[in-house]
Structure 1
Amino acid sequence: MTRIFALLFFLSAITFHSHAQPALGYYLPENISYNPQIPTPKSIVGHEIGAWHLSHDKLIQYLKALDESSDRISMNVTGASHEMRPLINLIITSPQNHQNLEDLRQQHVALTDTKLSTNLDTRKMPAVFYMGFSVHGDEASGTNAAALTAYYLAAAQGKEIDSQLQNVIIILDPCLNPDGMQRFSSWVNVRKSITPSADPNDIEHREAWPGGRFNHYWFDLNRDWLVAQHPESQARVKVFHLWKPNVLTDHHEMGTNATFFFQPGVPSRNHPLTPSKNYELTKRMASFHARALDDIGSLYYTQEDFDDFYYGKGSTFPDVQGAVGILFEQGSARGHAQESVNGIVRFEFAIRNQFVTSLSSLRAVHNLREELLNYQRQFYKDATSEALKDPIKAIVFGANDDKVRALHFAEILHRQQIDVYPLTASQSINGKNFTNESSYVVPLQQAQYKLIKSMFEKRTSFQDSIFYDISGWTLPLAFGLDYEELKTVPQHNNKTPTFSIPAGKRIGDKTDYAYAIETKGFYTPRSLFKLLAHGVRVKISTAPFNHETGKKFSNGTILIPLDNQDRVNANQIEYLLDDIATQDGVDVYACRSGLDLEGTSLGSNSFQALRKPEIALIVGEGVTATDAGEIWHLLDTRYRIPVTLLSTDVLNRANLSRYNTIILPSYSGTSINEIGREKLKAWVQNGGVLIGFENAVSWINNNGLGRFEMKKDEVVAEKKNDVLLRPYASIARYTDAQATSGAIFEAQADLTHPLLYGYDHLTISVFKSNNIFMEKSKNPYANPLVLTGAPLQSGYISKTNYPKVKDTAVVGVTGIGQGQVIGFTNNVCFRAFWFGTHKLLTNAIFYGPIISSKSSR
């Protein structure tokens, strides 16, 4: 009999390793019984977990079935993705807790309120645990493990699970990126063989551009927790603040040749605002993960990689809010099976590691429950105490020239439960004017004190020199706002502002002569495109002029003359102007006369006609997907400007004459062939405007499409007998430390240049995440935006690279034939929240054709 069982086991092992469907028992803990009334994943989706990649609709289908069959689970729809897929979570806890769930939630959230928390008895309170899976859509083992985890929590029976569910309220977020998940699962499933190919060259493992990692607009949603510019992020941040979890786990995948990582990461790479107790708790939780992975024989590592510095990542976002964030990284199969240096990585193996560490996390939260609750309470008490001692009592910010940028920044603060109020009365502080119409106050004496500090601080000194993500994100600089730290709290309106765009004004009576619109407002590009798209003849001022009210208009003011408007009549123009004022928050000035004896009369050649942009955005192989997505998102969602997404292979054979503007995001590669390059060159010579970013500038140079002089890379190091000497062991550390992963620099602006129309500050804060340095032009008129001699405002740059970045050009313009090539060394649309430089892109689009050839490099 024993031999028969042994043979059966041997045969089943052979079958399993030839990649038959993995049995549920492969994943689940031994010696635990399961409620037969709870449906297994296979009974709903038709296959075992790991045999195929779950699509998003199948995942939702299964979780709905669990919700209907289990009194431990309630399912909530929290929003919808860009592609209108539901964003859901499961609240999982004991049936007894479910009956009193809202009271338990309110009691738990009271831990963050120092006025209420002292009298709470944490010995009797459940902890709150947020499980987050697969914010990157192609890191699929997380979402598939989420289905297993939900089954286990619904069906497992025994004293251990009963105690865990009684003492922990679990928020299970099974898929943080539905659109990316769906894209990736479709790719690998339709390319799966009956016997999966583990060859890394197999098409299953070579997903087409842009891949499933990103959301609809090709954003990395794991960088969006702090600023929450996308619906997926806004939904999960709302849930985070609704519950204030004690622990948040963030399940990811990494390269196929890696094993499994869990935090803590490198100790020196924690943000200084994160308490040391947080690291201690993270380290204690690590022992639970180690034991769980030891039990199943999985290799792992910790404390050698990653960091907890940027608060915009899922595993770091909780650390500045009294919670503990935990990052998990699993070596990826990127399909169903793939060769690696550690043997073949199978999808079900990756799922099991994610599932096992989900359970070890729950065990850790359960065992450390009271300590986690006490830590959360103490965190907010300490924050209150620090705020009291802080000589800075409030921060005021605003933009006199643009109500909208300040409003959208206030909206981000409010989304993170930071109290922000309109300024009651206009005032001048340190030479900066803050008007009550466009300025806000943030008192520091509030629960989110530490999060506020992280958003407003300028930091240029660091314990470590290596960053997994950006090192500087001072948000008022990102928005191009004036701000000041105050030692007293100024008078303010105690009501939370309404976050709708304030309507613009119509100044002056209806006229039959002309209208003028300043371009300082954030949504002016949207207004301008509306006018051009409806056939309105529009001009732009290249010189200042005066209005009859005494107002002085600067370069870059939009003029709409009413004579010779052959495509629209006066009533249609009036309708458009009313819509612009109402929807875009833009002021419209009526002009009754064109005479200006002190400036420029309205019939002057200083007003140049604008053309309607016909835009192609180059995408595809070789293009950095996130950079392309940021441009697409800005034009599509903010400005409603249509854009053709032109893949590199289509570019090579397409007729480009239908476009007058082509944007090339950061690009390096060979997918644009010689025919494509010649087409682009001829197209520019015939009057097109080519706009390139970051690596694309070098590509443009190397292919004869532009003349941008780049700084040469010079090695600076210790020398002995003219030979560079460095320890072998420092290779990785030295190399990584040279990366400028994301810092903020000050640039000097030429406000008379068309690329700077709409700006009114002589300096602009720009974001830089590369080591691309452009020399200033020898033409004195061709340097519209140049970094200053001491440009670093916030973030890290190495001592080797800092001299290289000083006095370099942010943008250059080259004339070729009748066209223009505009090259930016920086990303001006960074992650959708760098509002302060968005207009550099739209200015290049609208005003590129009018840039004088005399200002070319």
Structure 2
Amino acid sequence: MKKFLILFFLISSISFQAQDFDTLSLDYYLPKNITYNADIPKPQDVIGFVPGLWHVSHDRLVNYMTKLAEVSPRISIENRGTTYEGRPLLLLTISSEKNIQNINQIQQNHKALVEEGSANIDTENMPIVVNQGFSIHGNEPSGTNAALLAAYYLAAAEGDEIEKLLDNTIILFDPSFNPDGLQRFAYWANTNRSANINADPQDREYDEVWPGGRTNHYWFDLNRDWLPAQLPESQARIKTFHKWYPNILTDHHEMGSNSSFFFQPGIPSRTHPLTPDLNQELTQEIGKYHAAAFDKLGSFYFTEESYDDFYYGKGSTFPDINGSIGILFEQASSRGHAQETDNGLLTFPFTIRNQFTAALSTLEAAKNMRVKLLNYQRDFYKNARNSAAKGAWAFGSEKDATSAYHLAEIMKRHQIEIHPVNEEFSENGKTYKPGSAYIIPKNQRQHRLVEAMFEKRTTFEDSLFYDISAWTFPLAFNVDYTSDAPLSNAGDAIDELEKPAVPSVEKSEYAYVMQWHDYNSPKALNMILNKGLRASVAMKKFGTKNKEYDYGSIMIPVQNQKLDKEELFDFIKNVSKTANIEIDAVGTGLTSGINLGSRFFLPLEKQEIALLVGEGITPYDAGEIWHLFDQRYDIKVTKLNTRNFSRADLSRYTDIILVNSWGSALDENDTDKLKTWIRNGGTLIAYKNAARYLSSNNLLEIKTKNSRLDAKNISFEERSDFYGAQGIGGAIFEAKLDRSHPINFGYKNENLALFRNTTIFVEADEQSYNNPIQYTNNPLLSGYISEEKSEDIKNTVPFKTGGFGRGNVIYFTDNTNFRAFWYGTNKLLMNAIFFGDHM
């Protein structure tokens, strides 16, 4: 593969300096020798300043894009939904006036390229589709601010070149992938801007307060959610993608201030094997247009370095498994208005101009490579069908239909053909039943995407990864699955997915019982306890003449409640309907196994939960827990700021959660206060590197192990790669479960797939009953781990718990709530919350 010349720029040669802010005009950005339609408003006419003087807020961005759509026949605009904070998720469709008027027909014709029978479609006169998206990380704002200029240019530029471009191109233009994060960062940068631009990196302008503007409302990295599609911003853009199947998708980012500009391809050895070689060749050809534009501009750049094309959940790689070309742009960030760097002064306008230049060079490449890219997309799907194996996949869970349903939701979002199981069957000891399982035919246009979602890969060309190395979805959802499902057992293809059917609750004069298997069971229990009702958890199995009940089943007696029988019946019916969960009426306490009056039914109390957030806490991990409680389970959680911990009244909380942190989130006085709270009966739930904190403060004894690492035959040049290969960027491992332990209540299988991205290996306890979750002797299921670390992890434990005074300390080595799609281990946290007192 021919390599581009890797260059590093000297910003000291840039003509735009801090003192030039007062004279900044559109002339700094726009191509020369082009006329512009005077009827089209310039950005400053609407937002009040030339882009780059200030950071555009999302509301002003919306105002400008809306105004352009009002006055320009080249632009239509739509609102595809809202963020968690209620901001619109805009999409502009930009093309020639004739194309805009005929856009529905063009869309249908274009989508036909990915459908069966597309081999004979003539692409010679078909427009190419380019999806341009900006600033998915809110504190990487040069992309969105460049979108102001790109939209103006496309609406107002005149001449044969722009007319030819628009005649042959449909531009799906998303000016802000992350409205909430953009708004948060614009506020920060603007409120800390001085009239005399201060480029000192130590100035407050360049040091955002926690959690920063990178993430969305719940502190998620939206650029990791293209494949899971769990967040509203992602779901809107995925819907657009599958509505159109663009030929190119661009994703404008920023990186460290001391760098230059990156465009793809990334490191060749880190391309996912399911991505066709031709994809990377076309990516490189597109790169030549970027190189030519940046050479002309005088801006330096690099490629085939640092970044990769492996994880399909990123904006630059998701298109690659869908017949498109994904392009990542990374601009050195000014993180404010101007900042001193190792290479000289880096100004915000300069970063905007580079992003604007890359947006235009992409369109130039699309125009000139139009037929080639259209044919590539057509052939991608034709080859996908031709290479598809016979048969089908199946997935499901006979005791947790909800988790299977949520995985099916993802399938439907990605236009994957799925069918319900209409006749029960078994495969490899697992049973797939109607109502809780689905079948996916292999012979379909999206079979490559399904393979990417379901594969278990343990061998790799490279040992370094920019992101995770495994994401096997059935393992993430803890559902059974097989690649040998009988298609004859499939019903008709699902058009509209429906939630699993739940039987109506019958009235009981004695007790109601709810199994703990279903994903929604914690939501139901929270409703019950919030109502002030008495409920108990079964520490042993029991059964009636009609049903067997597992460890962790919840029993709600009818007598001695704050509600009378009729009120209780009505309430339980509402719980069942709201949580979409089955609740059974039981008419006798004389059950097999333990009886309902047994001492092995332990009482449960309403939980009051605090989550530590703020400086020193990893926002991603905290945000995922906040989202889990708030969006999935409707459980209130108090976000307790570390800076206010010393003043907080901890007595109101039953549980405090401490996620991964850096530095010292809690000082010595805070720790003494926390210890007192635990001694008085509180439960501390800690994650990841909190192991050091727990051990050093004698809260929980944690013994870790690591093998000695000796670098032999490793050159100076190779040293960083050698040590980098010892990390676990994100892989999946198998653990065996003791299902009688409360931490494992609700799990039906004896083994569980766990995601981990740490190298914290905790030695097992000498007493086997203290190891309810333990890695097997050969635990790797999918992903990369070095040989050295593979030895370290064997038979270690990812979970520890111990008493402290009248309270408890619970510890997990890794995040059980990873990126909102690791449904399969969410219940571990919920078990810690509801049953922590009984461990």
TM-score bin (small chain): over 0.9
Q: How does 1:25-64 map to 2 (within 5 A)?
A: 25-64=27-66
Q: How far apart, in 2, do the equivalents of 1:555 and 1:488 lie?
A: 33
Letter paired with 1:62? Y
**Correspondence for 2:7:** none
Q: How far apart, in 1, do the equivalents of 2:780 and 2:17 lie?
A: 60
Other structure's SS at 1:708 match: coil
Q: How does 1:545-560 map to 2 (within 5 A)?
A: 545-547=542-544, 549-560=545-556
Q: How far apart, in 1, do the equivalents of 2:633 and 2:356 lie?
A: 43
Q: How far apart, in 2, do the equivalents of 1:453 and 1:810 lie?
A: 29
Letter paired with 1:370? V
Q: How does 1:67-146 map to 2 (within 5 A)?
A: 67-115=69-117, 117-146=118-147
**Correspondence for 1:637:** 631
CA displacement at 1:623 relative to structure 2: 0.9
Q: What CA deviation, in whole Å up to 9, does each residue of 1:489-508 have, x standing for no partner?
A: 2321114164343342246x
Q: What CA deviation, in whole Å up to 9, does each residue of 1:703-760 have, x standing for no partner?
A: 2221121224522443xxxxxx531111221122112010010010110000001111
Letter paired with 1:659? Y
- The reply to whether residue 681 of structure 1 matches residue 655 of structure 2 is no
Q: Are 1:521 and 1:585, in contact at CA under 8 Å, matched by a contact in 2? A: no
Aligned partner of 1:594 among 586, 589, 611: 589
Letter paired with 1:113? E
Q: How far apart, in 1, do the equivalents of 2:560 and 2:370 lie?
A: 75
**Correspondence for 2:21:** 19
Q: How far apart, in 2, do the equivalents of 1:487 and 1:400 lie?
A: 16
Aligned partner of 2:518 among 482, 499, 521: 521
Q: How far apart, in 2, do the equivalents of 1:599 and 1:75 lie?
A: 63
Between 774-783 and 611-620, the greater mean CA deviation after superposition: 774-783
Q: Are 2:439 and 2:485, in contact at CA under 8 Å, matched by a contact in 1? A: no
Q: How far apart, in 2, do the equivalents of 1:555 and 1:731 lie?
A: 50
Aligned partner of 1:579 among 574, 581, 587: 574
**Correspondence for 1:6:** none
CA displacement at 1:17 relative to structure 2: 3.2
Q: How far apart, in 1, do the equivalents of 2:23 and 2:720 lie?
A: 41
Q: What CA deviation, in whole Å up to 9, does each residue of 1:120-163 have, x standing for no partner?
A: 21110000000010000000000000110000000111111110
The structure-2 alpha-carbon separation of the partners of 1:704 and 1:15, relative to structure 1 and needing over 3 Å to count, comes to: closer
Q: How far apart, in 2, do the equivalents of 1:525 and 1:493 lie?
A: 31
Q: What CA deviation, in whole Å up to 9, does each residue of 1:416-470 have, x standing for no partner?
A: 0000110110111121110011010000111111101101111001111111011
The structure-2 alpha-carbon separation of the partners of 1:284 and 1:686, relative to structure 1 and needing over 3 Å to count, comes to: same
**Correspondence for 1:434:** 432
**Correspondence for 2:652:** 658
Letter paired with 2:147? A
The structure-2 alpha-carbon separation of the partners of 1:557 and 1:16, relative to structure 1 and needing over 3 Å to count, comes to: closer
Q: How far apart, in 1, do the equivalents of 2:504 and 2:346 lie?
A: 65
**Unaligned runs of at least 5 residues, structure 1:** 1-11, 719-724, 852-857
Q: How far apart, in 2, do the equivalents of 1:14 and 1:626 lie?
A: 36
Q: How far apart, in 2, do the equivalents of 1:506 and 1:370 lie?
A: 57
Q: Are 1:91 and 1:169, in contact at CA under 8 Å, matched by a contact in 2? A: yes
Q: What CA deviation, in whole Å up to 9, does each residue of 1:22-46 have, x standing for no partner?
A: 2100000111111111100001111
**Correspondence for 1:483:** 481
Cα RMSD over matched residues?
Answer: 1.4
Q: How far apart, in 1, do the equivalents of 2:655 and 2:501 lie?
A: 31
- The reply to whether residue 839 of structure 1 matches residue 824 of structure 2 is no
Q: How far apart, in 1, do the equivalents of 2:604 and 2:96 lie?
A: 65
**Correspondence for 1:706:** 700
Q: Are 2:642 and 2:666, in contact at CA under 8 Å, matched by a contact in 1? A: yes
TM-score, with length taken from structure 2: 0.97
Q: What CA deviation, in whole Å up to 9, does each residue of 1:148-183 have, x standing for no partner?
A: 000000011111111000001101100000000000
Q: How does 1:247-646 map to 2 (within 5 A)?
A: 247-387=248-388, 390=389, 392-486=390-484, 488-496=486-494, 498-506=496-504, 509-547=506-544, 549-565=545-561, 567-596=562-591, 598-646=592-640
**Correspondence for 2:732:** 744
The structure-2 alpha-carbon separation of the partners of 1:15 and 1:594, relative to structure 1 and needing over 3 Å to count, comes to: closer
CA displacement at 1:668 relative to structure 2: 2.8
Q: How far apart, in 2, do the equivalents of 1:150 and 1:497 lie?
A: 36
Query: Which 4+ stretches in 1 moved above 4 angstroms?
Result: 12-16
CA displacement at 1:673 relative to structure 2: 1.2
Letter paired with 2:809? V
Between 803-812 and 480-489, the greater mean CA deviation after superposition: 480-489
Q: How far apart, in 2, do the equivalents of 1:301 and 1:217 lie?
A: 33
Q: How far apart, in 1, do the equivalents of 2:81 and 2:299 lie?
A: 37
Q: How far apart, in 2, do the equivalents of 1:631 and 1:13 lie?
A: 47
Aligned partner of 1:823 among 801, 811, 826: 811
State the percentage of identical aligned residues.
47
Letter paired with 1:76? E
Other structure's SS at 1:58 match: helix
CA displacement at 1:697 relative to structure 2: 2.2
Aligned residues: 826
Letter paired with 1:519? W
The structure-2 alpha-carbon separation of the partners of 1:112 and 1:654, relative to structure 1 and needing over 3 Å to count, comes to: same
Q: How far apart, in 1, do the equivalents of 2:656 and 2:700 lie?
A: 14
CA displacement at 1:198 relative to structure 2: 1.0
Q: How does 1:213-232 map to 2 (within 5 A)?
A: 213-232=214-233
Q: How far apart, in 1, do the equivalents of 2:471 and 2:488 lie?
A: 26
Letter paired with 1:110? A
Q: Are 1:41 and 1:48, in contact at CA under 8 Å, matched by a contact in 2? A: yes
The structure-2 alpha-carbon separation of the partners of 1:375 and 1:542, relative to structure 1 and needing over 3 Å to count, comes to: same
Letter paired with 1:557? S
Q: How far apart, in 1, do the equivalents of 2:16 and 2:78 lie?
A: 42
Q: What CA deviation, in whole Å up to 9, does each residue of 1:479-531 have, x standing for no partner?
A: 00101112752321114164343342246x52221111100011000000000
Letter paired with 2:541? P
Other structure's SS at 1:76 match: strand
Letter paired with 1:429? E
CA displacement at 1:94 relative to structure 2: 0.5
Q: Are 2:424 and 2:431, in contact at CA under 8 Å, matched by a contact in 1? A: yes
Q: How far apart, in 2, do the equivalents of 1:658 and 1:450 lie?
A: 51
Q: How far apart, in 2, do the equivalents of 1:849 and 1:28 lie?
A: 65
Between 550-559 and 492-501, the greater mean CA deviation after superposition: 492-501
TM-score, with length taken from structure 1: 0.95
Other structure's SS at 2:254 match: strand
Q: How far apart, in 2, do the equivalents of 1:531 and 1:652 lie?
A: 33
Q: How far apart, in 2, do the equivalents of 1:554 and 1:66 lie?
A: 61
Q: Are 2:135 and 2:141, in contact at CA under 8 Å, matched by a contact in 1? A: yes
Other structure's SS at 2:593 match: coil
Letter paired with 1:606? F
Other structure's SS at 1:122 match: coil
The structure-2 alpha-carbon separation of the partners of 1:499 and 1:584, relative to structure 1 and needing over 3 Å to count, comes to: farther
Letter paired with 2:719? I
Q: How does 1:134-283 map to 2 (within 5 A)?
A: 134-283=135-284
Letter paired with 2:131? Y
Other structure's SS at 2:574 match: helix
Q: Are 2:427 and 2:485, in contact at CA under 8 Å, matched by a contact in 1? A: no
Other structure's SS at 2:200 match: coil
